[in-house]
């Protein structure tokens, strides 16, 4: 084996080694270089995964119990370490009628479009759940009331655009939304109930 040119690994470059000892040492150095390259590659992959979660995680829409559990977990985290979190509720009036009017394929495509838009437009730390047939929720971590309402307005506009026509069918879905910011030391059940009431009031204003 030829002598490796890297002085950073050849600590015995000037040592009086016989040919067999030099061969063994060069082999060990080659393994060290390969190990270092593998470590650098693994570190690069870890940094990439930290910046961009796997697709299956990004596309995960929680059920209502799962969503409520994540809200409770985040509120406990806020209570312990400080912080403010908010929840957005979206109601899609007419979503249930799409299957009867346009077929199940169009209805499923509309639900996928809603899910994709919500997942694409929130942070990786935020949580999205389908709470009912026509209702979705978004937990906005570290988000105060004013920013939550602005986010709700932004998402509502994007959802209207995305649902205007699906598979060539004009859906005419009406979207209402409400934002609720949890207070410090607030009971989760009471907070979610008040959040739902905010959405009910928003629907009444349509």
Instruction: Identify the pLDDT of residue 74.
Output: 84
Cβ atoms 67, 131 nearer than 8 A: yes
Same domain, 64 and 156: yes
Predicted confidence (pLDDT) per residue in 114-168, tens digit: 999 999 988 888 999 999 889 999 999 889 989 999 999 999 999 999 999 888 8
For residue 154, what pLDDT is reported? Answer: 94
Listing DSSP states for 53-76 in one string gives: --HHHHT--B-HHHHHHHHHHHHH
Assess whether 35 and 119 both reside in one domain. Answer: no
Q: Looking at the structure, tell me whether residues 165 and 64 fall in a common domain.
A: yes
Question: Are residue 181 and residue 154 in the same domain, yes or no?
Answer: yes
> Of how many residues is the chain composed?
206
pLDDT less than 70: residues of the chain: 1-14, 41, 44-59, 185-189, 191-192, 195-206
Same domain as 175, residue 81: yes
If asked whether residues 45 and 71 sit together in one domain, one would say no
Same domain membership, residue 190 and residue 141: yes
- 14 phi and psi angles, rounded to 5 deg: -100, 5
Do 81 and 176 share a structural domain?
yes
CATH of residue 118? 3.30.70.270
CB 162 within 8 A of CB 121: no
The whole-angstrom separation of Cα 133 and Cα 131 is: 7
Same domain, 167 and 78: yes
- Domain with 30 in it: 1-52
Whether this prediction's pTM lies above 0.85 is answered by no
Largest CA distance in the chain: 90
- How far apart CA 182 and CA 186 sit, in angstroms, is 7
* Same-domain status, 40 and 70: no
Q: Are residues 124 and 158 in the same domain?
A: yes
Same domain for 95 and 59, yes or no, is: yes
Domain's final residue, options 35, 52, 69: 52
Number of domains composing the chain: 2
Q: Are 145 and 96 within 8 A, CB to CB?
A: no
How crowded is residue 177: how many other Cβ atoms within 10 Å of its Cβ? 22
Specify the pLDDT at position 56.
42
């Amino acid at each position: 084996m030829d002598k490796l040119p890297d002085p950073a690994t050849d600590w015995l470059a000037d040592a009086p080694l016989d040919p067999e000892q030099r061969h063994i040492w060069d082999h060990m150095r080659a393994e060290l270089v390969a190990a270092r390259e593998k470590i650098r590659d693994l570190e690069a992959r870890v940094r990439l995964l930290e910046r961009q979660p796997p697709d299956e995680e990004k596309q995960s829409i929680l059920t209502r119990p799962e969503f409520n559990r994540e809200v409770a977990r985040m509120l406990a985290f806020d209570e312990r370490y400080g912080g403010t979190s908010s929840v957005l509720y979206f109601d899609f009036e007419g979503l249930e009628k799409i299957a009867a009017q346009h077929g199940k394929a169009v209805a499923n495509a509309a639900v996928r479009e809603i899910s994709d838009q919500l997942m694409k437009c929130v942070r990786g730390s935020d949580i999205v759940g389908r709470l009912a047939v026509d209702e979705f929720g978004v937990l906005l971590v570290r988000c105060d009331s004013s920013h939550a309402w602005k986010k709700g307005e932004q998402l509502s506009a994007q959802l209207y655009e995305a649902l205007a026509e699906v598979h060539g069918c004009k859906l005419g879905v009406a979207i209402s939304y409400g934002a609720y910011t949890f207070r410090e030391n607030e009971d989760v059940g009471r907070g979610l109930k008040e959040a739902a009431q905010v959405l009910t009031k928003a629907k009444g204003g349509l």
